[in-house]
Structure 1
Amino acid sequence: MATTSASASVLTGLSGIRGWQEELYRDLHQHPELSHREHRTAGIVAGRLRAAGLSVHEGVGGTGVVGVLNNGDGPAVLLRADMDALPIRETTGLPYASTVTVADASGNEVPVMHACGHDVHVACLLGAAQLFADAAEHWRGTLVTVFQPAEEVGDGARTMIDDGLGELVPTVDVAMAQHVLPAPAGVVGTHPGPVLSAADSMRITVHGRGGHGSMPQATVDPVVLAAMIVIRLQTVISRETAPAEAAVLTVGSITAGTKSNIISDHAVLELNVRTYGDATRTAILDAIRRIVVAECQASRSPRDPEFELFDRFPLTNNDPDTTARVAAAFTEHFGDRSRAMPLQTASEDFSDIPTALGVPYTYWGFGGIDPDTYRTAQQAGRISEDIPVNHSATFAPVVQPTLDTGTEALVVAALAWL
């Protein structure tokens, strides 16, 4: 493991990068880009990496950027940041709030916001890359920085792999990533084993027989059918999943009909499943299909239901030894600000990269909420009411100490190998 003096030496330059790093973060926040459209962001990233002396590969997986800093013999560490934003209208009121609107893939005009903190991730990794470049005499090995597109839609990591990421970078020994969370800024958290859930979204179309609302006996009502499916699906978690096995099943959308007195001929349900093990994941998806088919038969549906899986995310399963090594380095550097991170029901596609490369990985969280604001909400028992979460229109991490902490975490973790 790298010594404390190595971390201290590399991080000496933190005050020197803080000015441009904060300015860059605000710029990225004000100019968010949707998944697979991160062209401006990618250009900024590539320019910064080249200026720092890294070898740069652009357009990996479409808009992905890879930077490699070779500094002699030693291990190779891969650090990853995601770049894409979300179709959300920002309501933070910040002077650098996004007012961007664009046409989405369907041609609909949508607002765009960095509501998940990927702007923080990009700024932190660029800062870490600069610090490593400026302090090359204090470490040995190879730093690989991966700026990934399209995490929000779950295929950005895979597109980079499919586009030859493994051939562009040297053989790496470990891969790491992080995420800003609705926790006190300045705090970092690690978690061995499963930490972020696998996610599967499913679109289900059930069929009825349409007709006049005044003559329901002549129809097969898909609204009633869909309602019965929703009720029965509640038993998948409560009665078919072991109490000790964490899992979530949410029906987020039901669409049917056009008018109050018309019984439609079909209904569409969209649901989301979160699981932490392959066996549970398979069992729940199978149970959903079984229940839907049975309810359709019970309702005399004239056609079999249709199932479509989309927006699928892999399980993030932190390697215990790698996580322990990072946790020890964090404790040494951050002291009591290094803590255990609770199991998260959010999902990520980062693990597709180390899985494809065949290397161990770990993924940690760090806080982005003003500590005083968080403490006040906690004391009042109003965390859920007063603290904005990722994907909220009001989610905007405080600039500091969030950027410092995220940058330090990347440096300290990488120096546990380099």
Structure 2
Amino acid sequence: MGRVTQELQQQPSASSTGPLTRSIPTTVLLGLGGMVGAGVFLGPAPAAALAGRWFLLALVLTALATTCFVLASAGASAAHGEPGGSYTYIRDQLGPVPARIAGALALAGRSAAAAAIAGTLGAYTAPNRPEVVAVAAIVLGVAFNVAKLRLRAWGWRLVPVVLAVLAVVVVAAFALPPEGPPPVAQPGMPGADNPRGLLAAAAVSFFHFAGFERLTSPPSPAERYPQRTLRIALPIVMVAAVVTQLIVGAALLYQLGAARLALSRAPLGDLLVAADAATLRPLVAVGAAAAMLPLLIVALAAIRNTAVAAIRGRDVPVRATVAVGRRGPWRLDVVSGGLAAALTVTLGPVLALQLAASCLLFYYAFASAAARLILQDGPVWPMRAACVGMVVSVILGMCAPVPLLIATLGIAAIGAGAGAVIARRW
């Protein structure tokens, strides 16, 4: 067991195969690439289903909460200095039981996120057989990670393509007025204007911004960005992401209305049909592929990295450590891909997106609590951001739709129970 543990401590991340490009523009594009994906291409639909037109305000609330997470995560990661991302300092600061719960939530949330990303890609590129394309994309992403190919060498170059496609969609949306007034959902139906659903929509909308940790808390020290770069890049990323998503959301409401948007499985494609610009749908499919494929690779790697951190923390049975060796944790890549594919087929992209948002909100509650302890003797604002982020994440998580809340609490309970059993037998 000692030899395997030593291998785990020495095991490099599969994604850290070369030096990072540390320029501020590239960092900004990488951050935007983590936030301009399934959240923009699919996320407005479930948010509008909960709050109607109020979902735009929900986006703003979620962005403010995410800003707290960003500040706390960046500060804690810089101060902690150990590999493994947020999971490691959760275990170090809060103890094994909270770490097991957080680890289970992170694994479930990131697996559901990968499923939502793949499902959204399938919905835009092959609406008649979205599951086939989704599973094929996951297989491609697993192969990419197993081969240890360098994503950062080219992934950021696709972000301008995505932004250009979104700009074309927005221009098409506002170029012509809708043919008639959009349908209005009756109270209690999906898409009805519902201020009471604002917090629930904000909880679901957290998926829009969940990619920030690829900059603030990478899995290995070799992948960390200089604090000077982050101090400049992170505000730009957050502002650009919020503005982009608000503009796209406004365009969707203008052409579709909240009732039609709430029922859409490919909102940007339906927007083009409503705006008499259906000939541009192949362009949107290209934009979806450019946004989703790099994000899917990162999401699958995040599942693997969380599992490796749990193995280092001895929250996974010893036998699972055979997946980690000198050739890389390729078995964990395969398992993470299989889990994401199963969720894609069973849940579909909308439910997977909602489950991912719910699980990750509670995960970041633990991460913010741990960051608060790390930063208690450090700068004031990151410490206060950690406190606010912890409270807000719990409030938003508790306001998620009841089935999602029950599923999330069940995952947390399973994580705590399984971890206790493993700890006793190990």
Give the alignment's TM-score, normalised by structure 2: 0.23
Which structure is higher in RCO with an 8 Å CA cutoff and minimum separation 6?
A: 2
| TM-score between both structures, scaled by the size of structure 1 | 0.24
- The structure carrying a bigger strand percent of its residues is 1
Q: Which has the higher helix share?
A: 2
Larger Rg: 1
